[in-house]
Structure 1
C-alpha cells in the first residue's frame, strides 16, 4: 500500500481539521508526559534548525473526510502539537491568509478548546521572551479563567512552554520552512473511505476515546437550542461564572465546576417551571433536567431568552459569592431558590446591573429579601405561590416604592404583616431620604433582618411616625441585640426588662427569656413573640423609654437595683448568672417548683432549682468551697465545705434540708452551718412561700 506524505500545512490548506468530541483530551502536552513531549520537540527543533537537510516522518494519521472536513480518528495528538508549533513560530508575523488557514484547526472535545484555538490564531500577542508564553496567554484580555481547567487547554499551554524552551522565540524563517513545499516534518495520511472502512474501525483503532459526563451529555443537547453566539458562551463566558467559585481552591476539579453549572441550570429551570406549574414534592425531589428542559426551553421560547439574559448578566455580577452560591448546590432550600429568583427577575427586566440602575437593584432586592426572609416557606405550594408573587411584583420594578405606597392590593405569597410593613416603609422613604437611611440601617441588623414593624409602631407620636424617636429606639435595640449583649453582660437587658413585667414567652410546656439565635423559626418562637404581643411589647417600650443611649448600662443597673418585689422574678433580676445558666434561656414551673434548664429543654435531663441555685450563687460570693450539682431527678444538691468538713443542702417542697456527706458526722458543725445558711435564706428571700 502506497500512501502520500503530507505536511500539516498540506492537510489544513485542503481541509478543516476537526478533533471530534468523542476523542480524549489533548494528552501529549500534559505535564505528566513532559519527558516524551520534550524529546519530540527536540527532534522537531533538530530537523528545522539543522545545517544539513533533514526530514522526519511522524507515521500514519488516520481520518475520515466529510465535505472538506477532516475528522482525525488517530493522530490527534501529533496534529495538535504541530498546530501549536506553527502558531508559536509565527507569533507577530502571521499574515491574514495564513491566519485564515491556521484557524481551520478546531477542537470539539470541549467548545472551550475550540474557542481557545480560534482565539489563539485570531488575537494578537505581544511576545516577551523573558516570560513563559503560557503566562502571556493567560494574562491576555481574551483568555477566560475557566480555560485553565480545560485539560486540553492546560496541556496546550504546557506544550507551548516546552516549545518555547527549545525554540526560545518566534522565527518566521522556520515557519516558512514548515509551510513550504519541502517541509521537513511530514506524515502519512490514510483516509478511511479510500479503503472502504467505516466508523466502527475507530473503536478498534482507538480504545482511548472518553465517555461524556452527565453534564457534557446534557450540554450537548441543550446547546442545540441556542444560536451560534450563545452556544459558544456555554463553554466560555458562562462557564467562567461557575469557575470563579472554585478559584480559591489549591486544586480545582473541573467536575466540581461542571456540577455547579448543571445545578444552576436545574435550579433555574425549576424556578421557571414554578411560574406556571403547581409543583409538588414529587416534582421537586425527582426533577429530571433531561425530561424537563425541552418543554421549558423550546427554540426561541421566552424562558430560553430569559435564561440567556440571566447568564449574560451573571458574567459581571459582583454579588454572586455572597448571595448566589447556595443556589448552585444539589438541593438549595426554598429561601435560597426565591432569593435568586428575585435576582433573576431583575436581570430579566433590566439586564445587567450598571451605574444607571444600581439604586433600582438595591430597592428591588431589599423589598424581595425582606418578604422572603421573614416568611416561613417550607412546602412546594408556599414556594410556587411566592415565585408568582415576585414575578407579579417585578412588573412594577421601575416604580416599586410608588407602587407599594399607593397599592391597596395585598402582596400574595408572603407573610401579610411583612407585606403591610413594606408598604409603610415605602411611603416613609418616598417622603424623606433620611427615613431611607435609618430604615436601611436597622433592617440590616443580623437579628431584625428587614422586620422592624414594632420599632415603627413605637415611634408613632400622635399617630404620625417620628424619625427622631425611630432613630433612638433603633440605636438602643441595636445595642441590646449586638454580639456584645446577646449572650453576656450578666443578662442586664433581660433582667431589667423583667422588672417591667413577665415578658417570657411559652414554648411547649416551658417558658424562655428568649434566645438570640437568628434562624427564622428561632426568632418566631422567641423575641418576635415579644415584639408582636400587645402586652409584652409594652414592657419592652417602657424599658427603652427608661434608659438613655449614652448611659444605658448604668440605667439598666439602676432599674435592677430599684426592683423591690420579693418574688421569683426578683431572684432572677437581682442575681446575675441565673439566666446564663439556662440552656436556651428556658425555665419550667412544676407546682411550686421553678426549674432551670441545663440541657435542651425538650428533655430536661439536667436542671437546677431556682431557689437553691440562687442560694448557691449567694454562698459562692463568700466561699469558693461550694458546688452546685444539678440533677436529672427532682432534687439538685448544694455541696459546701464548712470549716474543712463537707455538708449538703437540698430544697424540696418549700423546705431546705441539711446533712452530712463524705464521712463527716460533726453535728455541731452541721448546726452552725445550717444557722448561717438560714440567715442568708431569710435575708435574701430564697425560700418559696406556699
Structure 2
C-alpha cells in the first residue's frame, strides 16, 4: 500500500453515493457512511458570532449555483469498516448536507432514493444530533417560503423541544435559515449543486495512529477572531497587490508573526496568554482615523463612528464596506507598527510626556477607549512616524506641541464625531509642513479655516510669531504653556501683556505669568481657605458665569467644566476676564494672601448684592459643589443659594441666610436652625425661640412670625432693627 496521500475530486452526492469514494487496496471503493466522530467539535458554522463566515461561504456556494464551478478546500478523512470519519472538513460537509436537503425539499426532489443517500451522513457526537438528521430527512417538513424554515422544523410533531439545547442542532437551524434567505429566489438549483466540489484525501495511507488522530482532532477549536481577521486581511492585501514588490521578511504576514507579535505580547491577557483583542483593537482604532479622513460627513458618518468606537463587534466585511481598509490605511498601519514595535515592548521617541504620552496613546488604542482629543493626538503622532524614516525628536516635539495646544484648547467641545472630523482634517493639511510647523503656522495658516475656533488658531499664530523673534520669548511662552492647568492656553496672558499700541511686552508677559502660577495649580484654582480668592475677585467685579438660569462662582473641573470653569473664564475675552485682570493688577505673588484680604476688607457697599458673598465665606460654601446661585433679573433682592442645579433641590435664601450667619455665633445658633427648602414657593428661614425669621424678596423686607403663622407676620425695612430685636444690642 502506498504511503503517499491519494486524492479524488468529488461532489457531495458522489461522496455519499455508491460511487467510488474510498481508496482501499490501491483502488477506489464505495462508501457506506459519513460519520462525524464523537471527538469532533459541534457544528459551529451556524453559531452566533459566525454571521460573516456564513455569509461569505453561502455567497461562494451561490456563485457555483449560478454557473461558476467552485472547489472547496481538501476534505481529509480516516476510514474504518467503510465508514468515513472526517478529520478536517466536518463543517463544510455539514453545510453541504443541509444545502442539499433544503434544495431537495424546496424543489420536491426528496424521493426515497435520495433519502437513503442523505441518511448516510450522520453524527456520532450526540444521539440527539444523529436522530435530528434522520428525522429531518425521513419525516421532514412541507416547505412554505413565507415561514422561516427553522420555525417549520421546530413546529413539526417529530421535533423534540429538548433538541434546542443541542449546540449542533441549534447551529443547523440557524444555517438552514441563512441558506433559505440566500437561495429562496433561485430556481432549478438541484442539478447545479454538482458545480460544488472538493478533493477528498484518504489519510489511512499515512499510517496515522489512533492517538495521533485524536491529537489532531483535539485541535478542533474554532479559529479565533484574530486568526480569521488576519487571514482575511492577508487575502485582501494579496488581492489588491499592495505588497507585490515587498521583501519576504517585510511583508504583513511576516511582520505580524514576528516583530509585531513581540510588541503585542507585552500587552497580552496574562491569564489566557493571548493578545488577540489588543491587536484587533489597534487595527480598529486606526480604522476610525482612516474612516474619519475619507468618509462623507453625512448622517451615516456619525452612526458609523459610534459603531467603530463602540464595543460591538465589527466584521471584516463591514470594514471593507465602510472603506476603512484601503491602501493608505495599510501603508500607514504597517509603517507605524514597524516604528513602534520592539521585543521589550513599545518603542517611544520622546523623553517626556508633555505634549503626548506615547504609552497612554498606545494603551488606549489597544483598548479602543480613546476619547476624541486623544484620537487626534494619536493621529498626529502616528502620521508623523509614518512619514519619517529617521525621527528628528526636536521636529517631532515642535509638531506635537502645536497639536497639543490646538486640541487641549478645544478639548471640552469634542462631543460629537463631526467636531472631531473637522479637527482631524485640519491637522491632516498640516502634515506636509510638520518639520517647520512653527514657521508655517505663523505665515500660512488661515484663522478662518474650519477645524478649530478662530481665536484658538489666532493664539497659535501670535505665539509662533513671538517664538520666532528670540529665545527669550520662546522660553517664556513654552514654560507657561506647559503649566498643567493651562495646557497650552495662555491667550489671557498674551492679551494682558500688550501695550496701548498692541505691542507685546515681554516683561509684562513674565509678570502676569508669575501671578498666574501663584493663583493656579496644575488642577485649577489653588485651594484658598474660605474662598479668599473668589471673594476678592467678586469684590473687584461681577465675574460669575452663567449656566442656564444659574450663575457660578466657578469650578476647576467637573461635569459642567465647559460652561462654568476657570478655563472658560481664562479662554473667553469678555468682561469676566477683564475683572480677573483688574485683580491681577492689584496683587503681588509675594504678598498674595495679604492683598486678597485687603481687597475684601475694603469692600464696603452694603447696598451691593455682592456684599455678603464678599464678607461671609459661608455664602459661597452653601452654593453646592458647582457653586451655583440663582438671580432674578427683575428683582435685585431675589437671590438663592443652590445646593444642586435645580430649585427642586434644597436651597437657601441669600439675605435670610446671611443674617443667620451673622447671628449664628453670637446667639449660639445650630446650623440646623436654618430651614432650607425644595421649592421657591416655601419660606426659607431660621428659627429662634419659636420665632421664624425670613426675608421677603418681593418686598425687600425681613419678616418675623411666631409659630409658623405666616399670615400674621411683622415686617422690618432695616436689617439693623432685626439684629437689635434679636440680640437686644445696637448694631
TM-score (norm 2): 0.59
Distance 1:454 1:530, change over 3 A: closer
Correspondence for 1:616: 660
Correspondence for 1:365: 400
Deviation at 1:452, TM superposition (A): 1.5
Q: Distance in 2 between matches of 1:322 and 1:511?
A: 36
Distance 1:550 1:253, change over 3 A: farther
Structure 2 counterpart SS, 1:506? strand
Deviation at 1:360, TM superposition (A): 1.5
Which runs of no fewer than 5 residues in structure 1 stay unpaired?
Answer: 5-22, 25-61, 65-72, 75-189, 663-673, 686-690
Q: Distance in 1 between matches of 2:508 and 2:424?
A: 36
User: For each residue in 1:33-65, what CA deviation from the matched residue of structure 2 results, as whole angstroms up to 9, or x when unmatched?
Assistant: xxxxxxxxxxxxxxxxxxxxxxxxxxxxx999x
Deviation at 1:587, TM superposition (A): 0.9
1:232 partnered with 2:240: no
User: For each residue in 1:532-567, what CA deviation from the matched residue of structure 2 results, as whole angstroms up to 9, or x when unmatched?
Assistant: 243222211111010111101100000110112112
Distance 1:520 1:484, change over 3 A: closer
User: For each residue in 1:641-661, what CA deviation from the matched residue of structure 2 results, as whole angstroms up to 9, or x when unmatched?
Assistant: 6xxx56542222433344566
1:458 partnered with 2:496: yes
Correspondence for 2:555: 515
Structure 1 counterpart SS, 2:540? coil
Contact persistence 2:642–2:650 (CA under 8 A): yes
From 459, 474, 478, give the equivalent of 1:436.
474
User: For each residue in 1:501-529, what CA deviation from the matched residue of structure 2 results, as whole angstroms up to 9, or x when unmatched?
Assistant: 21212221122222221679525766524
Distance 1:532 1:432, change over 3 A: same
From 301, 306, 330, give the equivalent of 2:332.
306
Contact persistence 1:505–1:530 (CA under 8 A): no
Distance 1:346 1:658, change over 3 A: same
Deviation at 1:637, TM superposition (A): 4.7
From 371, 376, 386, give the equivalent of 1:333.
371
User: For each residue in 1:621-677, what CA deviation from the matched residue of structure 2 results, as whole angstroms up to 9, or x when unmatched?
Assistant: 335432223211334555456xxx565422224333445669xxxxxxxxxxx9773
1:472 partnered with 2:511: yes
Q: Number of aligned residue pairs: give it.
A: 485
Deviation at 1:416, TM superposition (A): 1.6
From 494, 498, 501, give the equivalent of 2:541.
501
Deviation at 1:344, TM superposition (A): 1.3
Contact persistence 1:313–1:352 (CA under 8 A): no
Deviation at 1:212, TM superposition (A): 1.5
1:385 partnered with 2:422: yes
Q: Distance in 1 between matches of 2:525 and 2:727?
A: 31
Correspondence for 2:221: 210
Contact persistence 1:504–1:514 (CA under 8 A): yes
Q: Distance in 1 between matches of 2:365 and 2:526?
A: 31
Q: Distance in 2 between matches of 1:3 and 1:291?
A: 42
Q: Distance in 2 between matches of 1:407 and 1:475?
A: 32
1:562 partnered with 2:590: no
Correspondence for 1:581: 622
Deviation at 1:262, TM superposition (A): 1.0
Runs of 4 or more consecutive aligned structure 1 residues displaced over 6 Å after TM superposition:
1-4, 201-205, 679-685
Deviation at 1:599, TM superposition (A): 3.0
Q: Distance in 2 between matches of 1:507 and 1:487?
A: 23
Contact persistence 1:509–1:588 (CA under 8 A): yes
Deviation at 1:603, TM superposition (A): 4.8
- How big is the alpha-carbon RMSD for the aligned residues of Structure 1 and Structure 2? 4.0
Distance 1:324 1:434, change over 3 A: farther
Structure 1 counterpart SS, 2:468? helix
1:632 partnered with 2:643: no
User: For each residue in 1:137-168, what CA deviation from the matched residue of structure 2 results, as whole angstroms up to 9, or x when unmatched?
Assistant: xxxxxxxxxxxxxxxxxxxxxxxxxxxxxxxx
Q: Distance in 2 between matches of 1:400 and 1:682?
A: 73
Which runs of no fewer than 5 residues in structure 2 stay unpaired?
Answer: 5-39, 42-75, 79-86, 89-200, 238-242, 309-313, 342-346, 350-356, 709-719
1:398 partnered with 2:398: no
Moved more, 451-460 or 201-210: 201-210
Contact persistence 2:492–2:570 (CA under 8 A): no
1:283 partnered with 2:342: no
Q: Distance in 2 between matches of 1:317 and 1:425?
A: 28
From 542, 550, 555, give the equivalent of 2:582.
542
Structure 2 counterpart SS, 1:340? helix
Contact persistence 2:498–2:504 (CA under 8 A): yes
Correspondence for 1:94: none
Distance 1:530 1:361, change over 3 A: closer
Q: Distance in 2 between matches of 1:395 and 1:518?
A: 37
Deviation at 1:333, TM superposition (A): 3.2
Q: Distance in 2 between matches of 1:2 and 1:361?
A: 65
Contact persistence 1:385–1:412 (CA under 8 A): yes
1:601 partnered with 2:639: no
